[in-house]
Amino acid sequence: MDGITGKTIAITGASSGIGAATARHLAQAGAAVVLGARRVDRLDAVVAEITRAGGRAVAVETDVRRRADLERLVGVAQAEYGQLDVLFSNAGSMAVSGFDELDGDAWQQMVDVNLTGVLNGIAAALPVFRAQGSGHFVHTASTAAHRIAPTMGVYAATKTAVRVLSEGLRQEAGPSLRVTVVSPGFTDTEGVGVGATPEVAAALVARRDAIAIPPEAVARAVAFAVEQPAGVDVGEVVVRPTAQD
């Protein structure tokens, strides 16, 4: 993966699931990874695993809802490794429920994490990418942005918004920047159903346990986009279980 070796890649939501799997995969391929998440103990464990294997990794406590935290994540990448080549905005909330539940707090959480978190990453990294003359945004959306199901309306709306803003960013980026959307289907992560109503969470977990792909499958999709030569932009990768509708 010559297109990954030597790059500095920052990842949010990196303490578990897709973020952690992608960190391991990219570090093994020769990237330096800067890992952001709120759960510092879990984050430190991923960093320790990567460094024991001979990789380069640092942890930065990051709440993507706060722009200052994204600015700090980007700043650490520059301070530690001299540059930032890729920002993978992966942190997400799946606190889903039916509209009749009127769970406004969960709606706001999904908007704040899934959408505002991506915007905060753009705001933090875009000036750096412009100054460098290169850079790559990778954003996690979802197959929910392609096919909406009951109880998933607000979640799907936030992920659809990520696809829309990513395309808008791509059109404004110019020839020196790249923008990729990765849209996973059911993936075997602990975040499935967290914050959802009990009945919805149970159904999601059962579905996950029956058909989910491993997070490493999504990590490979991210790597595919990152490793492309300059001038090649992978716009979107959809990766899902073969058994998923």
pLDDT at site 128: 98
d(CA 69, CA 72): 5
Average of per-residue pLDDT values in the chain = 96
The pLDDT of residue 1: 47
pLDDT at 61: 98
Sequence-ordered alpha helix ranges (H) in the chain: 17-28, 40-52, 67-81, 104-110, 117-132, 153-173, 198-211, 215-226
Architecture of the domain delimited by 8-239: 3-Layer(aba) Sandwich (3.40)
81 catalytic? Reply is no
- pLDDT digit string, tens, across residues 81-95: 999 999 999 999 999
For residue 223, which amino acid is it? A
Report the distance separating Cα 1 and Cα 11, nearest Å.
19
> Which one of the listed residues 81, 107, 137, 155 is annotated catalytic?
155
Q: What is the pLDDT along the chain (245 residues), one digit of tens a residue?
A: 479 999 999 999 999 999 999 999 999 999 999 999 999 999 999 999 999 999 999 999 999 999 999 999 999 999 999 999 999 999 999 999 999 999 999 999 999 999 999 999 999 999 999 999 999 999 999 999 999 999 999 999 999 999 999 999 999 999 999 999 999 999 998 888 788 888 888 988 898 899 999 999 999 999 999 999 989 999 999 999 999 98
The residue type at 194: V
Read off the pTM.
0.96
The token duo for 75 is 């700043």
Q: How far is CA 194 from CA 93, 139, 157, in A?
A: 8, 20, 18
DSSP-derived secondary structure letter, 157: H
- The ranges assigned to domains in the chain are 8-239
Q: What phi, psi does 48 have (nearest 5°)?
A: -60, -40
Query: Tell me, what's the pLDDT at 93?
Result: 95
Phi/psi at 85 (5° precision): -95, -35
Task: Please choose, from the candidates 169, 227, 207, 177, the residue with its C-alpha nearest in 3D space to the C-alpha of residue 237.
Answer: 227
Q: Which two tokens stand for residue 118?
A: 């991506």
> What pLDDT is recorded for position 204?
86
